[in-house]
Amino acid sequence: MNFSSKLLENAVYEIALLPGIGKRTALRLALHLLKQPNAQVERLASALVSLRNNITYCKKCYNISDTEICDICASFHRDPSVLCVVEDIRDVMAIENTGQYNGLYHVLGGKISPIDGIGPNELHITSLVKRVKEESIKEIIFALSNTIEGDTTNFYIFKQLEGLEITTSTIARGISVGDELEYTDEVTLGRSILHRVPFEVQ
């Protein structure tokens, strides 16, 4: 692209580093910002910088948090005997939004993926095992992605917890609400038959 301004070219270059944003979208965003009040652009910029520089994570569950211990871990209304293991904080938000879970979380920060150079030591697994040993946790729910990496991570953690008196479960896998059987892949469909649940009148 032929930019007539170094400032514009630079801004487009930096915006296009964001995931899912190409040069054209970056240009559109840059030109949009040019038409906004200076104050708005400065608010955006300072929000990004202060997010990056000042963010902290909960010391117990590694969820994002402005305080040392996050609101969920600090709450008296949550059940501290159940721990839900998730990949990242987006999953915490997703589960919180369902309103169906009342226990605590443990955010791994990813899943075991040798191809991306992520081994167990890059994740918060040691601290998870330590929590299970030190806190009065009775049940662990694995809520990782339904992929090979997710399953590997589940299995690795399961092995680490062997010998401890604890119930482990994974979130149910099967056909989603609204799915049609004919478009469902065989593995999912096969599993959903294998793990069928008693019929309930809702």
Note the residues at the interface with its own copies (CB under 8 A). 1-8, 10-11, 13-15, 17-21, 25, 27-34, 36, 38, 40-55, 58, 63-66, 70-72, 88-90, 92-93, 96-97
Which of 168, 116, 127 lies closest to 144 in space, CA to CA? 168
User: In 3-state terms, what secondary structure has residue 170?
Assistant: strand
Q: How far is the CB of 175 from its own copies (least distance, A)?
A: 23
Q: How far is the CB of 20 from its own copies (least distance, A)?
A: 7
Q: Which is nearer to its own copies, 7 or 164 (CB)?
A: 7
Q: Which is nearer to its own copies, 46 or 169 (CB)?
A: 46
CA dihedral 113→114→116→120, nearest 10 degrees, is 60
Q: How far is the CB of 145 from its own copies (least distance, A)?
A: 15
Q: Which is nearer to its own copies, 6 or 196 (CB)?
A: 6
Q: Which is nearer to its own copies, 6 or 159 (CB)?
A: 6
Please provide the distance, in angstroms rounded to a whole number, between the alpha carbons at the two ends of the chain.
Answer: 58
In whole angstroms, what is the distance from residue 98 CA to residue 96 CA? 5
State the DSSP code for 183.
G
